[in-house]
Protein backbone atom coordinates (compact mmCIF):
# COMPACT_ATOMS: atom_id res chain seq x y z
CA UNK A 1 0.00 0.00 0.00
CA UNK A 2 1.46 3.40 -0.96
CA UNK A 3 2.04 5.93 1.81
CA UNK A 4 -0.88 8.15 2.73
CA UNK A 5 -0.43 11.78 1.67
CA UNK A 6 -1.36 14.98 3.44
CA UNK A 7 -4.04 15.47 0.79
CA UNK A 8 -5.57 12.11 1.77
CA UNK A 9 -5.67 13.25 5.40
CA UNK A 10 -7.39 16.49 4.39
CA UNK A 11 -9.95 14.65 2.27
CA UNK A 12 -10.66 12.22 5.11
CA UNK A 13 -10.96 15.12 7.57
CA UNK A 14 -13.52 16.91 5.37
CA UNK A 15 -15.45 13.65 5.02
CA UNK A 16 -15.42 13.11 8.79
CA UNK A 17 -16.49 16.70 9.38
CA UNK A 18 -19.36 16.32 6.92
CA UNK A 19 -20.54 13.03 8.34
CA UNK A 20 -19.93 13.42 12.08
CA UNK A 21 -19.10 17.07 12.85
CA UNK A 22 -16.01 18.58 14.40
CA UNK A 23 -16.30 16.76 17.73
CA UNK A 24 -15.63 13.44 16.00
CA UNK A 25 -12.60 14.69 14.07
CA UNK A 26 -9.74 13.05 15.98
CA UNK A 27 -6.37 11.49 15.25
CA UNK A 28 -7.88 8.06 15.86
CA UNK A 29 -10.83 8.63 13.55
CA UNK A 30 -8.56 9.94 10.79
CA UNK A 31 -6.17 7.00 11.09
CA UNK A 32 -9.05 4.48 11.08
CA UNK A 33 -10.59 6.14 8.01
CA UNK A 34 -7.27 5.94 6.17
CA UNK A 35 -6.18 2.55 7.50
CA UNK A 36 -2.93 3.87 8.96
CA UNK A 37 -1.31 4.08 12.37
CA UNK A 38 -1.07 7.22 14.43
CA UNK A 39 2.65 7.22 13.65
CA UNK A 40 1.78 8.16 10.06
CA UNK A 41 -0.28 11.09 11.32
CA UNK A 42 2.49 12.36 13.60
CA UNK A 43 5.07 11.90 10.84
CA UNK A 44 3.04 14.18 8.54
CA UNK A 45 1.86 16.81 11.01
CA UNK A 46 3.85 16.58 14.24
CA UNK A 47 0.67 16.81 16.29
CA UNK A 48 -2.92 17.98 16.34
CA UNK A 49 -2.19 21.75 16.15
CA UNK A 50 0.01 21.24 13.08
CA UNK A 51 -2.70 19.18 11.43
CA UNK A 52 -5.43 21.72 12.17
CA UNK A 53 -3.29 24.57 10.79
CA UNK A 54 -2.56 22.66 7.58
CA UNK A 55 -6.16 21.45 7.18
CA UNK A 56 -7.45 25.00 7.51
CA UNK A 57 -4.82 26.26 5.07
CA UNK A 58 -5.85 23.55 2.59
CA UNK A 59 -9.53 24.44 2.96
CA UNK A 60 -8.85 28.18 2.79
CA UNK A 61 -6.77 27.92 -0.38
CA UNK A 62 -9.03 25.45 -2.18
CA UNK A 63 -11.28 28.20 -3.55
CA UNK A 64 -8.32 30.24 -4.80
CA UNK A 65 -6.89 27.24 -6.62
CA UNK A 66 -10.20 26.32 -8.23
CA UNK A 67 -10.78 29.88 -9.43
CA UNK A 68 -7.26 30.03 -10.85
CA UNK A 69 -7.93 26.80 -12.78
CA UNK A 70 -11.07 28.39 -14.23
CA UNK A 71 -9.20 31.53 -15.35
CA UNK A 72 -11.19 33.67 -12.96
CA UNK A 73 -10.75 37.37 -13.64
CA UNK A 74 -10.14 37.05 -17.37
CA UNK A 75 -13.67 36.94 -18.81
CA UNK A 76 -15.41 39.93 -17.27
CA UNK A 77 -17.85 40.29 -14.36
CA UNK A 78 -20.60 38.06 -15.79
CA UNK A 79 -18.18 35.21 -16.55
CA UNK A 80 -16.61 35.62 -13.10
CA UNK A 81 -20.02 35.57 -11.44
CA UNK A 82 -20.97 32.41 -13.35
CA UNK A 83 -17.70 30.76 -12.28
CA UNK A 84 -18.43 31.67 -8.66
CA UNK A 85 -21.93 30.19 -8.85
CA UNK A 86 -20.47 27.00 -10.34
CA UNK A 87 -17.79 26.86 -7.63
CA UNK A 88 -20.46 27.31 -4.96
CA UNK A 89 -22.36 24.26 -6.20
CA UNK A 90 -19.25 22.13 -5.69
CA UNK A 91 -18.36 23.21 -2.17
CA UNK A 92 -18.34 20.51 0.54
CA UNK A 93 -21.40 22.08 2.21
CA UNK A 94 -21.82 19.71 5.16
CA UNK A 95 -18.10 19.95 5.96
CA UNK A 96 -18.26 23.74 5.72
CA UNK A 97 -21.20 23.79 8.15
CA UNK A 98 -19.14 21.67 10.55
CA UNK A 99 -16.19 24.04 10.17
CA UNK A 100 -18.50 26.95 10.98
CA UNK A 101 -19.69 25.11 14.13
CA UNK A 102 -16.07 24.33 15.03
CA UNK A 103 -15.22 28.02 14.58
CA UNK A 104 -17.65 28.88 17.38
CA UNK A 105 -15.50 26.75 19.68
CA UNK A 106 -11.92 27.35 18.50
CA UNK A 107 -10.15 30.68 17.89
CA UNK A 108 -7.81 29.28 15.22
CA UNK A 109 -10.73 27.88 13.24
CA UNK A 110 -12.71 31.10 13.80
CA UNK A 111 -9.87 33.15 12.30
CA UNK A 112 -9.69 30.86 9.25
CA UNK A 113 -13.48 30.99 8.83
CA UNK A 114 -13.37 34.79 8.92
CA UNK A 115 -10.62 34.87 6.29
CA UNK A 116 -12.64 32.55 4.03
CA UNK A 117 -15.82 34.59 4.52
CA UNK A 118 -13.97 37.87 3.91
CA UNK A 119 -12.34 36.49 0.75
CA UNK A 120 -15.70 35.25 -0.53
CA UNK A 121 -17.33 38.61 0.14
CA UNK A 122 -14.53 40.44 -1.68
CA UNK A 123 -14.53 38.07 -4.65
CA UNK A 124 -18.29 37.88 -5.10
CA UNK A 125 -18.61 41.59 -4.36
CA UNK A 126 -16.23 42.51 -7.19
CA UNK A 127 -18.13 40.38 -9.68
CA UNK A 128 -21.52 41.69 -8.53
CA UNK A 129 -20.31 45.31 -8.55
CA UNK A 130 -19.08 44.80 -12.11
CA UNK A 131 -22.56 43.64 -13.11
CA UNK A 132 -24.74 46.12 -11.22
CA UNK A 133 -22.43 49.14 -11.35
CA UNK A 134 -23.38 50.35 -7.87
CA UNK A 135 -21.16 49.54 -4.89
CA UNK A 136 -23.89 49.92 -2.24
CA UNK A 137 -26.26 47.64 -4.14
CA UNK A 138 -23.40 45.20 -4.77
CA UNK A 139 -22.71 45.03 -1.01
CA UNK A 140 -26.37 44.28 -0.32
CA UNK A 141 -26.60 41.63 -3.03
CA UNK A 142 -23.32 40.06 -1.90
CA UNK A 143 -24.56 39.89 1.70
CA UNK A 144 -27.76 38.28 0.46
CA UNK A 145 -25.72 35.68 -1.45
CA UNK A 146 -23.56 34.90 1.58
CA UNK A 147 -26.62 34.58 3.81
CA UNK A 148 -28.15 32.20 1.28
CA UNK A 149 -24.98 30.07 1.16
CA UNK A 150 -24.52 29.87 4.93
CA UNK A 151 -28.23 29.20 5.44
CA UNK A 152 -28.19 26.42 2.86
CA UNK A 153 -25.12 24.87 4.46
CA UNK A 154 -26.73 24.90 7.89
CA UNK A 155 -29.91 23.29 6.55
CA UNK A 156 -27.93 20.72 4.55
CA UNK A 157 -25.90 19.79 7.62
CA UNK A 158 -29.20 19.14 9.39
CA UNK A 159 -30.20 16.73 6.61
CA UNK A 160 -32.40 19.15 4.69
CA UNK A 161 -30.86 19.20 1.23
CA UNK A 162 -32.63 22.06 -0.51
CA UNK A 163 -32.07 22.69 -4.15
CA UNK A 164 -28.99 24.89 -4.11
CA UNK A 165 -28.85 25.01 -7.90
CA UNK A 166 -32.33 26.54 -7.98
CA UNK A 167 -31.44 29.03 -5.25
CA UNK A 168 -28.28 30.08 -7.09
CA UNK A 169 -30.16 30.40 -10.39
CA UNK A 170 -32.68 32.71 -8.73
CA UNK A 171 -29.87 34.68 -7.09
CA UNK A 172 -28.14 35.05 -10.47
CA UNK A 173 -31.41 36.26 -12.04
CA UNK A 174 -31.73 38.84 -9.25
CA UNK A 175 -28.18 40.11 -9.70
CA UNK A 176 -28.47 40.26 -13.50
CA UNK A 177 -31.87 42.00 -13.27
CA UNK A 178 -30.06 44.89 -11.53
CA UNK A 179 -27.38 45.17 -14.24
CA UNK A 180 -26.42 48.74 -15.08
pLDDT tens column, 84-126: 999 999 899 999 999 999 999 999 999 999 999 999 999 999 9
Please report whether residue 1 resides in a domain: no
In this structure, what CATH number is given to the domain that contains residue 66?
1.10.357.10
Our count of domains for the chain comes to 1
**Contacts by residues 162-169 (CB-CB < 8 Å, ≥ 24 positions apart):** 164/88, 164/89, 164/93, 165/89, 168/85, 168/88, 168/89
Please report whether residue 105 resides in a domain: yes
SS3 label, residue 103: helix
Provide the angle, in degrees to the nearest 10, between the axes of the packed helices 48-69 and 6-20. 100
**What integer pLDDT is reported at residue 149 of this predicted model?**
95
**What integer pLDDT is reported at residue 41 of this predicted model?**
96
85: CB partners within 8 A, 6+ apart: 168, 171, 172
- Those residues of the chain that have pLDDT short of 50 are none
Please report whether residue 93 resides in a domain: yes
Identify whether the C-beta of residue 66 lies closer than 8 Å to the C-beta of residue 87. yes
Identify whether the C-beta of residue 96 lies closer than 8 Å to the C-beta of residue 153. yes
**What integer pLDDT is reported at residue 72 of this predicted model?**
83
Q: Domain limits at 172? A: 6-177
Amino acid sequence: MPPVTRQAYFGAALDLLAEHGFTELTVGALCRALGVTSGSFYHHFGGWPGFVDQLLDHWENRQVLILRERNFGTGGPSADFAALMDLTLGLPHEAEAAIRAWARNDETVRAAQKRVDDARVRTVGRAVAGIVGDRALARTLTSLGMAMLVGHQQLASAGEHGELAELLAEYARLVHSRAS
